A and B are shown apart, each in its own frame.
Chain A
Amino acid sequence: MSEVRAWFDRYIQAFNQPDFDTMIEYYAPNMLFEGRTGRREGRPAFIDYYRMLKSRVDEKMEVLSFVGTWDRILAEVRVNIRPYEDWPDFPTGPLQAGEHIQSVNLMYYDIVDRQFARVRAAPFSGRKRL
């Protein structure tokens, strides 16, 4: 396993736990996210969003394929969401407590000084209920 992959896997592990202290190490102060769940800018916006998200759903990521350097990473990521509560206005569609939603995304990370400077997401497979 490459050093970049090991570094990235540590982030995925932190995201899944969640371990916010470790997650924040990966976020550049002015980090930008663009994806189906909206656009967020700045490290505080990420932590606020993920704290809120993780209080309402169990969301876990699994890396299916990976290409990475210390400048960029592109990962095929399977996302499993199990809501703790109903969330009718969730950005990618309504969620119901107890259901299991799965999707696969291609996640593109621009990296500067071993932090995510920009993260972009492209859906690969549509979301499905399991």
Chain B
Amino acid sequence: MSSEDVLGRFRAYIEAFNRGDFEAVTANYTDDVELVNGAGTRLVGKAAIVDFYRKVRADTDRTIEIVECFADEEGIGADLKSEFVATRDAPDFPSGPMAKGDRLRINSFAIYSLRGGKLARIKAGVHKREWLRAES
């Protein structure tokens, strides 16, 4: 598979993430996928990832934008920008408590390891975090 093919699939994966289409999201994962997100939460397996992000979607509207991405034979690197808007009070939100209407904007780097053309290992680190509180 060429780098452009890999990146095309990656962009489609992010689009699926944004619309909450977890069937399409998990089709990109190996069965033993491991994800460690920018909040330090480690998730192993498709079900764990879906459970976690269904909860995130229940608390927030989240949009991921690809600032840039690239690929080699073994993986994908991406500079990502995400915004979470709390749709209800979420005192136990992974990045910190959110009240309805609060916004969290994060910029993160994510490194994706591929196996058999699927995402096997995902690690993300946040390099910029901005809170916009609804009442401030």
Contacts and interface: CB of A to CB of B under 8 A. Distances in A.
Contacts of B110: 106
Contacts, number: 68
B6 to A, nearest CB: 11
Nearest to A72: B70
Interface in A56-92: 65-69, 71-76
A124 interface: yes
A66 B23 CA distance: 28
Interface string B36-57: 1010100000000000000000
Interface string B109-123: 111110000000101
B127 A4 contact: no
Given A76-B111, A108-B79, A68 B123 contact: no
B71 A120 contact: no
Interface in A3-43: 4, 34-35
Contacts of A72: 68, 70, 77
Q: Is the interface of B mostly helix, strand, loop or mixed?
A: strand
Nearest to B36: A124
A59 B75 CA distance: 27
Nearest to B121: A65
Interface string B87-117: 0000000000000000000001111110000
A108 B40 CA distance: 19
Interface in B25-83: 36, 38, 40, 68, 70-79
Nearest to A64: B123
Interface of B: 3, 36, 38, 40, 68, 70-79, 108-113, 121, 123-127
Given A2-B72, A122-B38, 11 more contacts: A4-B72, A65-B113, A67-B75, A67-B112, A68-B77, A69-B3, A106-B109, A120-B109, A121-B127, A122-B125, A124-B125
